Amino acid sequence: MDSRRETILAFLKMHGPATLGEIASHLEVSKQGAIRHLEALETDGLATVSPSESHTRGRPENVYRLTPAAGEHFPDGHRELTSELVEFMSSEQLKQFFARRAARIEAEYAPRLAGLDFESRVRELARLATEHGHMADVVELADGGLAIRHCNCPIQDVAARTGLPCLNEQQMYERLLGAEVARTTWMAQNSNDCTYEMKEKDKRVG
């Protein structure tokens, strides 16, 4: 697939529905240049377009969205294997498996976070999660806090069925960041992302 189209798919995955102008700005091309790629994605059944439900004065803008078929274009290399694990391993074996998996990831992440301040650790952790297929970004919260938002899960089916990878991931974030971590959205509950809000433990009130 054309790299521009891959970029559009990734942008819509992380940003959500977007206008032609927003997509063109992200690609750093003209609207006419962007629409050519969007039409190709529509033809391939990977994106749809419809009028915006809310708009300001002037002509309503069209909004582009991913189709369910677009999900096949995002990282999911572990899905088949882990689906089989759920079927053939006991609950205790699954707990041990995902705990060991989290420990390996934590051992990989920890040296790359060492010496960074809290915000830098959060941003680096989001970048590392993206390297592992989560397509993560950092969200600045209204109260001044930070959150990591995962827009893709390589093992979403298994995570939804067991909850174990998510729990281990949340606990890993707490250890790596020295923070209280709360999951506020979850893909398994029909959200478009999994969001983890962080608060430094030494900045708690009271």
Same domain, 53 and 106: no
- Residue finishing a domain among 73, 99, 130: 73
The pLDDT tens digits for 172-199 are 999 999 999 999 998 888 788 899 999 8
Same domain, 65 and 83: no
Question: Hunting for tokens 């992302």 — which residue is that?
Answer: 193
Same domain, 156 and 89: yes
Question: Hunting for tokens 């102008």 — which residue is that?
Answer: 21
Structure tokens that stand for 2 in this block: 């054309």
pLDDT, position 70: 82
The pLDDT tens digits for 33-68 are 899 999 999 999 999 998 876 555 556 678 998 888
Kindly tell me if the per-residue pLDDT of 206 is higher than 60.
no
Given a contact cutoff of 8 angstroms between Cβ atoms, the answer to whether 198 and 148 are in contact is yes
Count CB neighbours of 166 within 10 A: 21
Tell me which of 34-38, 107-111, 143-147, 198-202 is least confident: 198-202
Question: How many Å apart are CA 122 and CA 128, to the nearest integer?
Answer: 10
Concatenating the DSSP letter of every residue in the chain gives --HHHHHHHHHHHHH-SEEHHHHHHHHTS-HHHHHHHHHHHHHTTSEEEEE-SS--SSSPPEEEEE-GGGGGGS--TTHHHHHHHHHHS-HHHHHHHHHHHHHHHHHHHHHHHTT--HHHHHHHHHHHHHHTT--EEEEE-TTS-EEEEES--TTHHHHHHH-HHHHHHHHHHHHHHTEEEEEEE-GGGT-SSEEEEEEEGGG---
Same domain, 41 and 66: yes
- Residue finishing a domain among 73, 91, 115: 73
Question: How many Å apart are CA 67 and CA 70, to the nearest integer?
Answer: 5
Same domain, 54 and 102: no
Q: Which residues form the domain of 36?
A: 3-73
Is-above-0.75 flag for pTM?
no
Same domain, 174 and 112: yes
